[in-house]
């Protein structure tokens, strides 16, 4: 049985994700095998008072990297962009980050 912390790996903090925070959209790196329903339930259980409206996911395939004659792949990741309902309270972790970026 997967817990919410197995599904949500870490937040993605980029310029684009900071710009989306004004529209109540938050980006997370999630487990590759997680589906949208599991991601929604995990976000609502980790952050109390947060209501998820929609979840958009995308997968990035790992790039091929070479070290001399040996080649391998970087890990493949899955990102989820979570949109909150208008009456939902914001995620406090991201709100602190957005204030620091504005300063």
Q: What is the pLDDT of residue 94?
A: 74
pTM for the whole thing? 0.84
Residue 32, in any domain of the structure: yes
49 in a domain, yes or no?
A: yes
Domain annotation covers residue 99 = no
Number of domains in the chain: 1
The answer to whether residue 77 is domain-embedded is yes
Strand runs labelled E in 1-103: 8-11, 25-30, 52-60, 64-67, 70-73, 77-84
Pairwise CA distance, residues 60 & 98, whole Å: 26
Judge whether 69 lies within some domain: yes
For residue 75, the domain's CATH number is: 3.30.70.330
Domain that holds residue 54: 4-86
- SS3 state at 70: strand
Q: What does the pLDDT look like over 7-25, one tens digit per residue?
A: 999 999 999 999 999 899 9
In a domain, 94, yes or no: no
Residue 53 covered by a domain? yes
Contacts of 100 (CB under 8 A, 6+ apart): none
Q: Each residue of 22-74: pLDDT tens digit?
A: 899 999 999 999 999 999 999 999 998 899 999 999 999 999 999 999 999 99
In a domain, 18, yes or no: yes
């Amino acid at each position: 049985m997967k817990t919410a912390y197995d599904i949500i790996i870490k937040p993605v903090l980029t310029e684009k994700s900071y710009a989306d925070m004004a529209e109540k959209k938050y980006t997370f790196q999630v487990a590759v095998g997680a589906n949208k329903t599991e991601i929604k339930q995990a976000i609502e259980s980790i952050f109390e008072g947060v209501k998820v409206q929609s979840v958009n996911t995308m997968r990035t395939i790992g790039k091929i990297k070479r070290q001399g004659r040996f080649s391998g792949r970087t890990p493949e990741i899955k990102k989820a962009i979570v949109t909150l309902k208008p009456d939902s309270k914001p995620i406090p972790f991201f709100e602190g980050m957005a204030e620091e970026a504005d300063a």
